[in-house]
A and B are shown apart, each in its own frame.
Chain A
Amino acid sequence: MAGAEGDDSLYPIAVLIDELRNEDVQLRLNSIKKLSTIALALGVERTRTELLPFLTDTIYDEDEVLLALAEQLGSFTVLVGGPEFVHCLLPPLESLATVEETVVRDKAVESLRKISQEHSPVDLEVHFVPLVKRLASGDWFTSRTSACGLFGVCYPRVSSTVKAEIRQHFRTLCSDDTPMVRRAASSKLGEFAKVLELDYVKSDIIPLFTALASDEQDSVRLLAVEAGVSIAALLPQEDLEDLVMPTLRQAAEDKSWRVRYMVADKFSELQKAVGPEITKNDLVPAFQNLLKDCEAEVRTAAANKVKVFCESLPEDSRETIIMTHILPCVKELVSDTNQHVKSALASVIMGLSTILGKDNTVEHLLPLFLVQLKDEYPEVRLNIISNLDCVNEVIGIRQLSQSLLPAIVELAEDAKWRVRLAIIEYMPLLAGQLGVEFFDEKLNSLCMAWLIDHVYAIREAATCNLMKLVEKFGAEWAQNTIVPKVLGMANDSNYLHRMTTLFCINALSEVCGQEITTKHMLPVVLKMSTDQVANVRFNVARCLQKIGPVLDSSALQAEVKPVLEKLATDQDMDVKYFALEAISVLALA
């Protein structure tokens, strides 16, 4: 670079170049990340005339470094002197947009999109559009792929002649001979359509959409589905039938399951885009087919949409459509052979009860819930249980409680601890809906049993669960039902169970309040300070530190302080450490 020796202002760039050539990638990366500092030191003029050319010419590096560079350049406008000079950033970004590695290229395109907004309309046509054209007619597929993402950002701000050129370039890329470029074009088709004038959407975009949606490669076709949704949203209702529906119908019956999956996955958006009439006539049968698809992947995607689809059906015919067309398919899915299908359905099926109302729910949905509650896969049962609140609003949970209980008990004792963990997390919700009586009678013993589970994560979740239950049912309930049991464990012969008592007290003291804590819990904790296991003793110290704020100062001084002081002279160093920590936190020294 500039050979002005002895010029102090060259020092930062000298450092940069030095580090950019370092063998250690991490150093090169650091230096790229400090690029803005260096540019600031150099000033806008020299950033433009020296730094950027240097970066453009000499960068051939690890993808990680290039990624950082591509990102930096996106916010470099101020550093090159503002919007007036933003076009200086184009050359380095242009070469980054042709790199093979997808993440680098995507980042370069993202930065280009960002700085395109900072170009004046004139600069856009003079500098930016030519770059897009160069990329669009590049030799290697990478540059053409990148170009696909840039048409949409410049189109609205250029003259009509240039607009025509841009449309032409996009058309060419849609029929590129490499599938990579067609995929990129297909994925940007919807975005591009949004910025086009309606006439051109009809005359240009529709043929492209039709062609891409019947491409020989399913990876291209499936991307066209999403574009189809965007395009449908742009067109007036009367054109939909002729222009997009034939293609969309064909996509829903594509021979590749990937395309059908995509249709199922985008079904709600599609429904919204085409409006109620087409939904009734076309989408309902299509949805039925997707729910009955031969590939489980497609059925899963469709099952996930059941609730949203039904919710958005036109109100006048909603119930009839659901009862006569959708529900029969749903009934079949309940006994599907694939667990993912059933599990997807279980996560939304409860939502149908709000739509169908009380009578239909009791007559038609309830039997399905009951079947799913007995499903062989825990995930299915869990999904039903986790959505009980929807049914509760409509028919009350009592209707279900008879079947619910065995399901809960079975999950609570599942051999897999993650399943047990999941059901614990729903306990507060269930408790709230089933009421305190039912809870005491049926579920309380389960909650206590988890406290002595052999997996720590379960014991931990069980303590947290107790706290939430107390928040729901109040301190009095706690004192009568759970506190005695928790404290009883303090005399257990297993030190892990004794520690669980301490963990429970940690969690419960605050929600139970000062009185219960001082009167019932504190004596137990203090007594445990002489436990023969050091782990129990230092947890006593930690517990005292935790519950200290709940106690009044006399209890602290008279009871807690002597015990902590004694623990502070314990022969075990951990016990000492935590005792001293508690003394200092509680300011008892």
Chain B
Amino acid sequence: METPTKLPPSSPSSPTTGFSVPSAEKVDGFPRRSMRRARQRRSHSSSQFRYQSSQVELTPLPLLKDAPVAELHDLFCKKLQQCCVLFDFLDCVADLKGKEIKRAALNELVESVATSRGVLIEPLYPEAIKMISVNIFRTLPPSENPEFDPEEDEPALEASWPHLQLVYEFFLRFLESPDFQPSLAKRYVDQKFVLQLLELFDSEDPREREYLKTILHRVYGKLLGLRAYIRKQINNIFLRFIYETERFNGVAELLEILGSIINGFALPLKSEHKQFLVRVLIPLHTAKSLSIFHAQLAYCVVQFMEKDATVTEHIIRGLLRYWPKTCTQKEVMFLGEIEEILDVIEPSQFIRVQEPLFKQIAACISSPHFQVAERALYFWNNEYILSLIEENCQVILPLVFGTLYRVSKEHWNQTIISLIYNVLKTFMEMNSKLFDDLTSSYKLLLHNNVDLITK
């Protein structure tokens, strides 16, 4: 039988799934929290099995494709009910027969929803949603590694994935089916359902989050009545992540969805949306795990600017407020985001933020970490930014001149020095009069300082 198990289409900046070797034995041969052995033994986890005390024996039903049309819906319904039985996947040899029957049934359901028309009739909606709920809604198990670092550690994979994947696939096909009627679905896919769906985004399993992302996006697209609620709950998840727990595995996925939602906001922006930008998206930059979702976050921020240029000042001042003080890796990310922002900034908005912005850029140029300095100096390779700088040379050059001059004499890294020379050369060509004035006044200042010290 052919099964359409194609993964959902992945969107613009799909997160990398290349996981590095655990850094367990790095320090002194003593694994962190001596957890490793336990992890090796059980790299899968699942909280799912607990809620079913008496196990039901499954018997195979006739194939859907062989069923006479009159009995099709009834059989479909029976298969949905059969798929509500849960299996213990931590014990991989338990009830193999039952697992196979359910797998086959799920495959059939997926295929049927995806290919045949007229299957999805009203009485099937509650049964389908019930089957989905029973299978996917569960309290996620505790992370096996209390210091789980998404960048360093292997994620714990969901043990029941062989079934779970098909249930997600079914849900997705169900939502995407041409027969799908939002007006019928909204009675079952309600606020409580969506809330539980959102909680699953904390799953450590990237495959599950990928499905959830696509599914939530479809729900948002088709069930208009839930939109505000979904946005509000995502807000709450983010606020909790920022200010309470600092842990939530699905931030990148939720931001990816928001990236496309922001695109569709009506103009002028509602205050709810502006508040989301200022009070949620900008503070998200403070998270320790920023690198996991920075690409998606920056995309959202830029989307906002493209939608409404008047938020530019809020964004830039916000980023400057949260500018990393000790983490150079994050500083490089911030600079990257600033460049993305400057790429689409309106010249009138640029003027409003240029002073504080270029003070920060000057500070970055004098960073002893060469990657930070380098990233900042690359701004001068960007045509559009260069044109903005040129227009405002009178303001910007005095702000950065001292730093450029000093760092060109002092920096330990040759690449930085040659980049600075290029920048100085550019400035000299832009406005040689101003450049000469600044050079002489800087030299005078330097001279006076030396005098002061030697006196």
User: B-contacting residues of A (Cβ < 8 Å)?
Assistant: 100-102, 140-141, 177-180, 183, 216-219, 255-258, 294-297, 337-340, 377, 379, 416-418
Contact = CB atoms under 8 A, between A and B. Distances in A.
A256 B139 contact: yes
Contacts of A216: 192, 195
A295 B239 contact: no
Contact of A141 (B34, B47, B51, B239): B239
B362 to A, nearest CB: 12
Contact of B279 (A100, A183, A258): A100
Nearest to A142: B243
B325 to A, nearest CB: 8
B241 to A, nearest CB: 11
A422 B29 CA distance: 16
A532 B327 CA distance: 48
Contacts of B139: 218, 255-258
8 contacts: A100-B243, A100-B279, A100-B283, A217-B195, A256-B139, A257-B142, A337-B42, A339-B38
Contacts of A297: 142
A416 B243 contact: no
A255 B236 CA distance: 22
A144 to B, nearest CB: 13
A257 B141 contact: yes
B-side interface size class: 20 to 34
Contacts of B243: 100-102, 180
Interface string B7-44: 00000000000000000000001100010011001100
A180 B38 contact: no
A255 B134 CA distance: 13
B50 interface: yes
Contacts of B34: 339, 377, 379
Given A180-B236, A258-B139, A294-B49, 6 more contacts: A100-B279, A140-B279, A177-B232, A183-B244, A216-B195, A377-B34
Contact of A178 (B50, B236, B279): B236
A340 B279 CA distance: 40
Contacts of B279: 100, 140
A70 to B, nearest CB: 16
A295 B142 contact: yes
Interface in B270-294: 279, 283
Given A100-B283, A257-B142, A338-B38, A294 B50 contact: yes
A416 B239 contact: no
A510 B38 CA distance: 46
B78 interface: no
B29 A416 contact: yes
Interface in B173-194: 192
A389 to B, nearest CB: 25
Contacts of A340: 38
B47 A180 contact: no
Nearest to A216: B195
B30 A416 contact: yes
B240 interface: yes
Nearest to B48: A294
B30 A257 contact: no
Given A294-B50, A338-B38, A418-B30, A102 B142 contact: no
Contact of B141 (A177, A183, A295, A338): A295
Nearest 3 pairs between A and B by C-beta?
A256-B139, A297-B142, A294-B50
Contact of A102 (B29, B51, B244): B244
Contacts of B47: 257, 294-295
Contacts of A256: 139
Nearest to B243: A102
Interface in B193-214: 195
Interface in B60-109: none
B39 to A, nearest CB: 11
B365 to A, nearest CB: 17
B314 to A, nearest CB: 14
A257 B49 CA distance: 13
Nearest to B138: A255
A179 B234 CA distance: 12
A101 B322 CA distance: 12
Interface string B214-245: 00000000000000000010001001100110
A258 B37 CA distance: 24
Contacts of B51: 255
A258 B140 CA distance: 10
Contacts of B141: 257, 295
B324 to A, nearest CB: 13
B112 to A, nearest CB: 31
Contacts of B42: 337
A47 to B, nearest CB: 29
A180 B244 contact: yes
Contacts of A339: 34, 37-38
Contacts of A219: 240
Nearest to B321: A62
B144 to A, nearest CB: 9
A379 to B, nearest CB: 7
Interface string B134-151: 000001011000000000
B46 to A, nearest CB: 10
Nearest to B90: A294
A305 to B, nearest CB: 18
A528 B403 CA distance: 59
* Most B C-beta atoms less than 10 A away, residue of A140, A255, A258: A255
Nearest to A103: B243
Nearest to B50: A294
Contacts of A418: 30
A180 B240 contact: yes
Contacts of B50: 294
A453 to B, nearest CB: 15
Contacts of A338: 38
B454 to A, nearest CB: 27
Contacts of A255: 51, 139
Interface string B120-158: 000000000000000000010110000000000000000
A90 B50 CA distance: 52
Contacts of A100: 243, 279, 283
A257 B244 CA distance: 19
Interface in B348-376: none
A180 B30 CA distance: 38
A546 to B, nearest CB: 30
A578 to B, nearest CB: 30
Contacts of A179: 236, 240
A345 B440 CA distance: 76
A222 to B, nearest CB: 11
Nearest to B139: A256
A298 to B, nearest CB: 9
A256 to B, nearest CB: 4
A555 to B, nearest CB: 43
Contacts of B239: 141, 178, 180
A256 B51 CA distance: 11
A395 B169 CA distance: 62
A297 B41 CA distance: 17
A303 to B, nearest CB: 15
Nearest to B192: A216
A257 B50 CA distance: 11
A411 to B, nearest CB: 14
Contacts of A141: 239
Contacts of B240: 179-180, 219
A338 B141 CA distance: 14
B387 to A, nearest CB: 29
Q: Find the residue from B34, B141, B283 having the highest chain A CB count within 10 A.
A: B34
A377 B49 CA distance: 28
A100 B279 CA distance: 8
Contacts of A294: 47, 49-50
A446 B181 CA distance: 77
Nearest to B33: A340
Contacts of B195: 216-217
Nearest to A378: B34
